[in-house]
Amino acid sequence: MKFAPFKIENFFRQHEFSAPYGISQSDSEPLTLDELLTYASPERREQFETLWLGYTETQGHPELRHAIAQMHAGLSAADVIEVVPEEGVFLPMTSLLNPGDHVVVMQPSFQSLWEIARATGCELSFWHQRRMVDGWRFDIDELERLLRPDTRMLVINFPHNPSGYLPTCADFERIVELARRRGLILFSDEIYRFTEHDERLRLPSACELYERAIVLGGLSKCFGLPGLRVGWLITRDRELSHELQEMKSYTTICGSAPAEILALIALENREALTRRSIEIVKTNISHCCDFFGRYGDLFWIAYPDCGTITLAELKAEMSVSDFAAAAIRAAGVTVLPAEVMHIDGNYFRLGLGRRSLPEALEALEPVIKDCFR
């Protein structure tokens, strides 16, 4: 199995930790360890400080799996497998797919959501996003046309990376029903779930609606804890769960003991942590409206109702790739071009989750004026 270069990870490996500013990060403002521990009960604090650093349970800490299940209606700890977030993509794609299988995947999407299947020898069909006057959409009629009698897996991601698109509950249920009627494995990347600005917009989790759904979640985005490297897979299908756990024995085997207790602290305070992230995003959207509003002839942006990212268009003859190169060279500002995300068009990803975004935009402004005066 030979994988293509992971373009977005290569880009951030080159720039993320060397450039002083960035406007394209996908996460919300990470907490410090001290900040997270302020949320801990005395019992959890003692548990963390006296922790035995031995091997942990392969499926994950029982209390942590219970806390994850509690965020999903009708689920139990037995339905949850603790993973490293990217491992949560790798395990289903390698253990459940075979060469020649047909897989339908949203596009654009995080590269591993389709590249692992491609490298496995699967045949891919892409369900493409469409730009509308007020933002982005995915046409469910188009999805239905892509599904075939030999389709094995449908891969979805809501809230969507990188557009921030979220379907209505009725549309989401229709997508799930398309998978159910065909007995498909429905892999649902829900890593941005719980970032809805209005909780009434939140979709049910796919694992709540369909027994052959596999849901990916984690603490990296809306909880502000990417450094913990804690994620989860959820499925009610015991056969699928067994296959995933068998493959996990060839990857991480088990989780990090300190990270599991810190993750428990986070989930026991999830409403406070997600509220913190949403407030940062909403503040940044207000700032971006003011900032990019001064350059309405240069930029088109549809701000999302959930998630921490969106796509912005540079309406100029200059390519976004050249603009991004100028930004990093002249101001030390990292801008992620669309081509790195396998997207056609003169777009870049705008990250709305970091408190440093206003400062980064201030550093970028002279570059905008110099390139387009």
DSSP 183-214: T-EEEEE-TTTT--SSGGGPPPPHHHH-TTEE
Place of tokens 């998978």: 179
Asked if the model's pLDDT at residue 223 lies above 80, the reply is yes
Asked if the model's pLDDT at residue 15 lies above 90, the reply is no
Nearest-angstrom CA–CA distance, 57 and 65: 11
Give per-residue pLDDT as tens, 111-133.
999 999 999 999 999 999 999 98
For 278, which DSSP code? H
Asked if the model's pLDDT at residue 373 lies above 80, the reply is no
Share of the chain above pLDDT 90, in %: 97
pTM, to two decimals: 0.97
Please give the structure tokens belonging to residue 25. 């990060």
> What stretches of 294-354 show up as alpha helix (H) in DSSP?
320-331
What pLDDT shows up at residue 205? 98
Asked if the model's pLDDT at residue 227 lies above 80, the reply is yes
Asked if the model's pLDDT at residue 37 lies above 80, the reply is yes
Place of tokens 């201030």: 362
Nearest-angstrom CA–CA distance, 124 and 370: 43
Asked if the model's pLDDT at residue 59 lies above 90, the reply is yes
What is the arithmetic mean of pLDDT over 153-169? 97
What is the arithmetic mean of pLDDT over 298-322? 96
What is the arithmetic mean of pLDDT over 77-88? 98
What pLDDT shows up at residue 134? 86
Asked if the model's pLDDT at residue 91 lies above 80, the reply is yes
What pLDDT shows up at residue 16? 82
> What stretches of the chain show up as alpha helix (H) in DSSP?
7-15, 33-37, 42-49, 62-69, 87-95, 112-120, 140-146, 169-182, 206-209, 238-248, 257-268, 270-293, 320-331, 357-372
What is the arithmetic mean of pLDDT over 183-210? 97
Give per-residue pLDDT as tens, 317-355.
999 999 999 999 999 999 999 999 999 999 999 999 999
User: Across-strand partners of 123?
Assistant: 102
Nearest-angstrom CA–CA distance, 300 and 149: 40
- Mean pLDDT of all residues belonging to the chain: 97
For 31, which DSSP code? P
| pLDDT tier for residue 139 given thresholds of 50, 70 and 90 | very high
> What stretches of 75-139 show up as alpha helix (H) in DSSP?
87-95, 112-120
What pLDDT shows up at residue 17? 87
Nearest-angstrom CA–CA distance, 206 and 211: 9
